[in-house]
Chains A and B, each alone.
Chain A
């Protein structure tokens, strides 16, 4: 009973009645602090269309680059569009944006200094100093200040600033001087490289009989259909773009040395058995002199030692010709020529 009286007394007070009549939500329920990361704000005219934000975004499908259609006066703008249903409001895109002022703004994240904006990309661009001709075309093409710099007469790429847009690679006039290397799936890449090299070696060794008759200045040419190679690579790593890139790089600067072995000419003099550094050549009373290709280093010592020309030594080079359209099949062109090393 006492509690009922207390309640009645409480409710009858004027201040309570006033408060009850004028009740409303406090201001703090909609107030957002300055740092609150809302959906990123896009400033179209500042965007350079590099794609750093799309590469950095941890949520799939949250950010997309779109391009407006051209009109008579100017080119259409390229700019990112935020997918509201997928954006997790982390503000990482605003952090990695390389423009100044930034094309994306989110909370206070776009104020973060750029020395930390390491972009999580799967491709790394490096300059091969041996092949670089220092034309500085990549420096001019680069959209980020200071990402490609010159030091001690060498051109180098600052990995922490690089946004991996690939503009430098498009402008490089020397093949192989600037490389985009995939840093993901390293083990699979190794497997593919091994497989490609072994396949090439086997193709050449299968045609030993034709190679043996080559004259000193003659060149032997053959073709290998790469579609089978591609298929097997795709089983190891199911990313077509990466596989094509990889095979092209492998064959581009690959130089295979080939040893042929003509047993008919052998007189069992056993000079080579002693000289072979890896013990790949052995002598047996029953079988005579034998060469084990698996142990062979292709060092050409036997070729230089043998007085009867049993061992032949050839150098093979390759060129990958990708299919320009679907009708053509991609092939690897193989060129083989005898070595001009002197026989001692």
Chain B
């Protein structure tokens, strides 16, 4: 009974923090576009506010650069349990076009923190991001919450 209640609460109130670990910023503005009245992310109970301390979902949108190597792990530990990490775009998955000779990126992100869901595309359309977050986040948060207890 309590578990079911907790699941419902967790599924319907998801706080999201957006972390750009060194990308071109295209995925970030697609996430901002998700807030627009057309996509209206908040109708699904998802609230983007960029504060890792109260985030349930961390959206990573960049190949990891020199400065982020240690800081990413620190931000990850600051987010409270249960938490889900979603990698948006190609940068966190493979380093995109920057991951060539001469580029100073340390992709993929999964080397540094565990990643629960991946959305590929450069950048993915807002509808694709929305689809992926809705498919993964609520269930994963509820499941992770139960694991902890």
Q: Are the chains A and B members of one assembly?
A: yes
| Smallest CB gap from A90: residue in B | B122
User: Judging by beta carbons under 8 Å apart, are B126 and A29 in contact?
Assistant: yes
Alpha-carbon distance A32/B38, docked complex (angstroms): 15
Alpha-carbon distance A89/B96, docked complex (angstroms): 11
Interface size on B, as a range, is: 10 to 19
A25, A28, A32, A59, most chain B CB atoms within 10 A: A59
User: Judging by beta carbons under 8 Å apart, are A28 and B38 in contact?
Assistant: yes
From the candidates A26, A30, A86, name the one contacting B90 in the complex (CB within 8 A).
A86
- The reply on B118 being an interface residue by CB < 8 A is yes
A interface, over-half SS: loop
Complex contacts, A58 vs chain B, CB 8 Å: 97
A59-B90, A84-B120, A88-B90 known; A32 vs B96 contact (CB < 8 Å): no
User: Judging by beta carbons under 8 Å apart, are B38 and A88 in contact?
Assistant: no
A28-B38, A29-B39, A59-B90 known; A86 vs B127 contact (CB < 8 Å): no
- The reply on A61 being an interface residue by CB < 8 A is yes
- The reply on B64 being an interface residue by CB < 8 A is no
A28-B38, A30-B127 known; A85 vs B90 contact (CB < 8 Å): yes
User: Judging by beta carbons under 8 Å apart, are A59 and B97 in contact?
Assistant: yes
Alpha-carbon distance A29/B39, docked complex (angstroms): 7
- The reply on A200 being an interface residue by CB < 8 A is no
A59-B96, A60-B99 known; A32 vs B125 contact (CB < 8 Å): yes
Interface string of B109-143 (1 = CB under 8 A from A): 00000000010111001110010000000000000
Complex contacts, A88 vs chain B, CB 8 Å: 90, 96-97, 122
Complex contacts, B121 vs chain A, CB 8 Å: 89
- The reply on A87 being an interface residue by CB < 8 A is yes
Complex contacts, A25 vs chain B, CB 8 Å: 39-40
The 10 closest A-B pairs by CB, nearest first: A88-B122, A85-B93, A86-B94, A84-B120, A85-B94, A30-B127, A29-B127, A59-B97, A85-B120, A60-B100
- Contacts from A to B (Cβ < 8 Å): 25-26, 28-30, 32, 58-61, 83-89
